[in-house]
Amino acid sequence: MVQFGYRDAEGRRTDRTVEPAAVVYLWEGWYLWAWCRLRRDWRLFKLVRIERPKTRMERFEPRPEPSEDAWRSVSGRRVELRIRVGPSALTRFEEDLGRDFGAPDGRGGRVVDLRMPDGEWLFSFLLGFGDGIEVLGPPEIRAEFADRARKVAELYEKSGNFDKP
């Protein structure tokens, strides 16, 4: 049994007591996969968001492996994407997501169809490739990606002094 404080992606803090099952590497980070007694369900806890972990000597019976539906609910809503990966981003993209995906785009890159977690993580992950990728669809994700990229460009077009608004 493990107790800890936890900050979610929005910065909200809760105290948790969990029955740990595994530590897994997902989405470029390490997570604790555990039964959460507060939520009475399986949860993923990003290790870097765990504060003051303490083990308790309380014993517990391992719970049955969760269903695929439980895993899907923990990993959140997923979105279907079509992305053009340019030659400059191809090696890193393959390292992160694997080889032998998509179809050649005729320019040294690939066009890839992916199913990825929706939300802030998605945009952070994609923006990390800079101009090495292009989101082709769906249109709402492409528009949001373009808007965020535009905001980054505007930030750098300003005076460069981050102390001034």
Domain contains 14: yes
Q: Is the pLDDT of residue 74 over 60?
A: no
DSSP string, the chain: -EEEEEE-TT--EEEEEEEEEEEEEETTEEEEEEEETTTTEEEEEEGGGEEEEEE-----PPPPPPPHHHHHHHH--EEEEEEEEPHHHHHHHHHHH-SS-SEE-SSSSEEEEEEEE-SHHHHHHHHTTGGGEEEEE-HHHHHHHHHHHHHHHHHHHS-S-TT--
Residue 30 lies in a domain: yes
Q: Stretch 113-121: mean pLDDT, rounded? A: 82
Same structural domain for residues 66 and 82? no
Mean pLDDT of 136-156: 93
Q: Which of 11, 44, 70 is the last residue of a domain?
A: 70
pLDDT score, position 75: 59
Quote the pLDDT of residue 160: 61
| Order of strands, sheet of 41-46, starting from the edge strand that comes earlier in the sequence | 41-46, 29-36, 13-26, 2-7, 50-55
Q: The domain spanning residue 64 has which CATH number?
A: 2.30.30
**Residue 164 pLDDT more than 60?**
no
Say yes or no: 130 and 95 in one domain: yes
Residues 64 and 109 in one domain: no
Domain that includes residue 57, residue range: 2-70
Q: Is the pLDDT at 27 greater than 80, yes or no?
A: no
Last residue of a domain, one of 51, 70, 89: 70
Q: Is the pLDDT of residue 4 over 80?
A: yes
Residues 66 and 107 in one domain: no
68 vs 112, more confident: 112
Q: Verify that 86 and 27 share a domain, yes or no.
A: no
* Total number of domains constituting the chain: 2
pLDDT of residue 52: 97
Global pTM reads: 0.58
Comparing C-alpha atoms, which of 83, 135, 143 is closest to residue 114? 83
The answer, yes or no, to whether residue 55 has pLDDT greater than 80, is yes
pLDDT, tens digit, for every residue of 31-46? 899 999 999 988 889 9
For the record, the structure tokens of 29 come out as 């980070």
Rounded to an integer, the average pLDDT of 104-130 is 88
Q: Across all residues in the chain, what is the average pLDDT?
A: 86
Residue after which a domain boundary falls, among 70, 94, 112: 70
